[in-house]
Structure 1
Amino acid sequence: MNQMKKRISLLCLLGLVIGFMVSCSKVDVGYLRTRDASFHPDSLNVFHNIDPDSERGKGNLPFVSTRIQGVAGTNPINYELSGVKADSEELSQLFMKLYKEGKVSVTGGLIVVTQEAAKQLPNGRYSLTLKVYNEDHSADLKDVFKIVVTDDELIVE
């Protein structure tokens, strides 16, 4: 009888161990919340002709957006350009080519357009879709930011 109790106890213990092992499936790490994600302002003006005497002209400084707001989640949170809408498919492809060459970048929630990229982009509006992701989560922010390319800098009085 004593040996029977030991076997039943051993079987129960074995059942518990198997049960724990089966219930341990991969659980998503952390979280990512992008419902309120936006840029303020939501556009960046980029110019072909820059005053050579300005700080931007002297230092060959890029055009930089404000940092995206409303993104929360488990770090590290990564950003990449996943799509561009422009007046034509060729312009969208040119923008993506410049992104792949590193002349346009999305770094830490900032969008950076080098002067070299600005000179290669024809005048127009470029609407960007960003992919935001961390270890186990991702979200596409469709048309979240616009880049407006013109010849000359806007004069604000």
Structure 2
Amino acid sequence: MKKYIIFLGVMVLIFTNCQDITVGYLETRDAVYAPDSMVVKSVLDPVEDELQIKFKIPWQSTSIEGVLGTAPVKYSIKSVDSEYPDAASQFTMQGAGIIELQHDHTVPPGRYVFSVLIENEGYSVVLDSIYTVIVE
């Protein structure tokens, strides 16, 4: 009988302590864009940028590196620091953390500093000022 009571006590402890464990993981301590900036033309040259205009090739950053976590990992633009907050809506985030701007954008010249939100089930991390786009 004593063994039965001890067994029940251990089982109660196990089941009450294991209820709120978050599934998966998300590690971003080594997260980085390489390179960490991109220079974009505000107006494309019809001769020099002929292929980009013809095939409507957008401006794209590299993908973010050093993110480990349980799939699916989602990336989104958390904020854009700039002189022109309305222009930030023209930037989009593609899979793997790729920041994209259409070839025919109307973003004014300036410096745009991005903070990126990375999340998966149970976890989220904001990487502040991790990427810069310079529009010339």
TM range (shorter): 0.7 to 0.9
Separation in structure 1 between the aligned mates of residue 90 and residue 42 of structure 2, nearest angstrom: 15
* Residue 99 (structure 2) aligns with: 111
C-alpha displacement of 1:17: 3.5
* Residue 74 (structure 1) aligns with: 70
- For the 8 Å contact 1:39–1:67, the answer to whether it is kept is yes
Separation in structure 1 between the aligned mates of residue 134 and residue 21 of structure 2, nearest angstrom: 42
* Residue 117 (structure 2) aligns with: 131
1:38 paired residue among 28, 32, 39: 32
| TM-score calculated relative to the size of structure 1 | 0.74
Separation in structure 2 between the aligned mates of residue 20 and residue 70 of structure 1, nearest angstrom: 35
Residue 129 of structure 2 is aligned to residue 143 of structure 1: yes
Q: Which has the higher helix share?
A: 1
C-alpha displacement of 1:70: 1.7
Residue 54 of structure 2 is aligned to residue 61 of structure 1: no
- For the 8 Å contact 1:38–1:68, the answer to whether it is kept is yes
Q: What letter matches 1:70 in structure 2?
A: G
C-alpha displacement of 1:112: 0.9
Q: Deviations over 1:71-94 (max 9, x none)?
A: 12222221100011112xxx1243
Q: Deviations over 1:39-62 (max 9, x none)?
A: 111111222322335210111110
RMSD: 2.0
* Residue 13 (structure 2) aligns with: 19
Secondary structure of the 1:48 match is coil
| TM-score calculated relative to the size of structure 2 | 0.84
Give structure 1 regions of 4+ aligned residues with deviation exceeding 3 angstroms.
8-17
C-alpha displacement of 1:141: 0.8
